[in-house]
Each structure stands twice: as structure tokens, then as C-alpha cells.
Structure 1
């Protein structure tokens, strides 16, 4: 098999963080996509990724919960910590069996301390608010994150699924290094407002699920092979009535991929890479062969005409079903109260 291409380095945001141009989303190793995968295999995969030049590792305290951070902590033993940039997140918990989004200062601090312990590191490279607590002014949440930076527990801070106005308010308190949002050929709702806001402020973009949660990797047949407990079974785009229409998107992407001499996954991922130097996708995988395929997407070149053609295949009016099972917790609903309301308490 041909050797993997060199994974370039890039500046993520304008605050000084440098990462590999491709990251590794680690969620599926422990959470959401069926049962947790064997720990020894996942440690081997993480180390293989780092040795291959993919050094930007993405996790969260909710993955497991907690077990994904512990897994990464184990994988980084033996000299690997110095080679990587760790991104983790806080903000999604459970209360009375339901999802509970929190961004109050006490919770922010407790989550950071917990993540440091589980990862077994002295400092988190990039600490995100995973979702926005709409009960707490974003200035309060980011104010506590700023304190963690000043104390040396966190190097850089980010937001995930935040609206343009929320990003702007947060950035006024402390520079935001990166914003993480779902972005792929068929999930493009960030492009109108969020993308230009981030570029104006010098904030990097970290697309999660750049392969459409596996849709552009395995195609619509993936749904038939999902393991018990795989949350994708509940996602709107995978429902039979929507999947029947969405199959046509995969077929058209596959046709272009065949002409380009690459896989549909590589073509979809290359489209994300071509969005700009400030974009660092974090495709996740649990298999070495899929990881290799993702890295080779870095070598796929697209013309403007090919980009436009791909976009026409998966335009908003073509894609059927919402991108997330709970759109209410995405950036669309991330406005927080004014700071004055918090001071009054």
C-alpha cells in the first residue's frame, strides 16, 4: 500500500494554536455509535494516527460519559502527550434522565478539573463549551473559562454549536480560538452567518461529522448495519422516508468520485478541506483502513467547478431531514440572557 501523504500543520485561529490539518474525532470509540470498541485497539489506533501526523485529538467529558477522556489519557502515555493537541469539551450533562446543558462558573470549573484528571494532563490545549447554556449569559461562562486560562489549566478556549451573536459576545470577553460545528456537504447551515463572523474575528473552524456521520463513507446501506444502541438510528436523515431521497445524493457523489479516482468519502472530505486554511475537520473512525482513507483525502484536488457541482448535489432543498436529532441544542437556539440579568441575581 502506498505511504500516506504528509499531514500539513496549520494555525487554528489567530491566538497561536497550531494543529494538524486533519484531526481525529474520538467519540465513536467510546460513545454514541454502538458499544465501546476494545480499548487496546483504540489505543493502538490513536497512536497510529499521531505517528502518521494527525495530532489534533477531539474528545468530551460526555463521551462515555468520561470513558473517552480516560482512553485518550492512556493512549498518550509513553511520550505521546508532547506530540498532540488535546481538545475536550464540557456542558452536556444529565438531570432526571434528560440532557442538561450547563455553563455556570462552578460547573465549568468542576468539568475542567475532572477532564484534567481523566486525561492525566496538567493543561488542556483547547477547552470548548460543548453546548450553550441559554440560562447563563455567555459572558459568565467564558469569564470562568478565561480564569482557567489565566491559571494555566487551559491554553485556548472554544465554543461548539454557537450562533454568530453568541460567538461575538464570547470573543469580547476572551479571544475564542475555534468554533466547532457540524459541517459537511449536506450540513451547511453555518455558512451564511457563522462562517463570516469567525473569519472576521480570526476564529478557526472545526467541522465535526464532515462525512455526514458516516453517510459519505459507507452510503445509505450503513443504516442497515448499525449496531444496537447506535444513535444514528434516531437521526432524521436516516429515517426511511428521508433516506430514500438522500440515497440519490450518495449516488451522485459516488459518480464524481469514480471519475476523480477516489472514494466518495475522500471526495466529501476534500470538499471540506477546500473551504480554507482556517478549517480543520475532525473525521472520526475506529478502523485503521478508514483513517488511512481519510488522510489520503488531503491529496484530492478540486476545481471551483467541481466544488459547485458537489454542492448542487446536496443543496438545502435536496437534503431531506434535519441534521441533528435535537436541533434545539444546536447554534440555532444558543442565545443567552444579557450580562446585566446575571449581575442582578
Structure 2
């Protein structure tokens, strides 16, 4: 990576979001200049997003721009003015279940906006784009752990389909224009400043307030819960290693994990799936109160199990998740109490 690349600001989209906030903060802590972009979507309480931004505003190297990446003109202008050499694209419309009832925002935020980012990278001479994909792309697959070499042509939600579309779009730009791009398939990220629509936050909030929790499939659901600090470390390791063509890639026996173009995809997970019942027990212990439970069927679009094979990421970057579920939940509950004054 050139000295000019290091001197130029890193553009982090979704900087007011959960993972974006942590990645931006890590970059700032090591002395990087960061331009954060977010539209402060009301998908969940924007007050939490504002609170994250207030944390980042304390760093002299942080600059924030509020606009919607689905606005092609605004996105193009930002790329021209910021002139980033590295881009971490984490902005998205999240939520598997919401995509079933309100699908249109997912196309604008996850497909149209990503096209605008790709165009900005293409015309701006960006040296490396790291972007968020999702474990949801594995869809109907039942062979675990999920490998980047698995077929991912059977999504079970529109959200998953948009993330698969992002991977295909990034690959096409890598092939056509030489844009170095790396996609990261995140596996159930949790931790301080987390999203209030995700299980760890929902269960903690309900248990702390003495409210009932709805538990899918009797708690016999498995997720590869991954602590956010481990995820941020993985993103920074990948950012420092621009994707390169695989000289051994063969179109007669194509490997979905690599390419003759400078494009890669990696799983980024904890490599240790946990049953939902165990998650609830760990939260109960951290909060100091038992949950009141009610059962519900597995919702449409939800996967029964996720498990990440992270061998490629570990080999190429030295990534190794370091946070146990107990430690991660304890830190989350401590943050939750401080944030809510509980």
C-alpha cells in the first residue's frame, strides 16, 4: 500500500451503524483519517446512531457527511471531494424479517446504493473496496460449517438475495475495471452499541425489564455469534490486504471463493455456533434475572443454523476470534446498563 493511500482518508459508509461505528473508531484510534457517511435511516431509533456519531466526533480525524448513497449524484460528488484510496462499505438496509414485509428499501439501499459506490470506486481510482456481505447468502444450505466454496444460489430472503447481488456486482467490476474488492460474509455480530432489532439486544432488554421473550423453535436454533471487536479486527486486517487474482483459478472448474479477477469473499465469524438456549442462559446470568419465555415457530426467511468456516480468512490475514460468548455478553450487558441508565 502506498504512502498516498495511507495519507488519504478512509471512506466508511454506514459509519453511524453498528459495525461501521466500531470499524471507524478502530481506524481513528490508530491515527487514520476517516470520512463517515450515513443517511441515519429510521429503521431503528436514530438516537442510537446519533450517540455513536457523538463518540466518533471526539476524534480530530473524523468527518461526517449525511446523505443517501442511493443518490447517484451525491455519492459521485462525495467520491470526488474526499478522494479516498480505501473504502469500507458497511451501509445497508439490514434485517431479514423486515425484508419480507417491506422489500423496496432493500433494493435501493443494498443494490442501487452499492452500484453508486462501485461507480465511485471505479472513477475515483480506489485501490481497495471492502464491503459487507452476509452469512444469509448461504440460504437453504444445510452442510455446515459454511464454506466460501459452497454454492450460494438458494437465498431464503430478499435481504440475502441483495447481498448475493452485491457479491456478483463487485466481481463484475473487479473483472471489467480491475477494482480490487473483498466481500465479508458477517455471521451474527453482537456487542456494545449493537442493533436493537437483533436477538442479543432484544433478549437483554426484555429480561432486564421483566418482559416476555419469544423464542423460535424452542431455542433449537444455532448461530455463529461473533463479537464486534473481533469483526472490526478482521475488517482492518482485510483492508490492509487488497484482493488479488488467483493465478490457479480455472473456468472449467470454477472456485466460488476466488477468481481470475481481483475479487475475494471471506467468512468472518466466531467459528463456534451456539444454540439459542445457551445464549439466553448466558444473558440471564449476566443480567441476574431469569427469562419469561414463549415459543414461536421459526419465522419465514430465518435459517435454522449458521456456522462459519474461517480457514481462508485465518490463513490469509491471521484472523482469530478472541472473545467467548460469556465475555462478549458481559461486555454488552455492561454497555446496555450504562447506555440506558439501568
Does TM, scored on the shorter chain, surpass 0.5?
no
Q: TM-score, normalised by structure 2?
A: 0.34
More relative contact order, 1 or 2 (CA 8 Å, 6+ apart): 1
Q: TM-score, normalised by structure 1?
A: 0.33
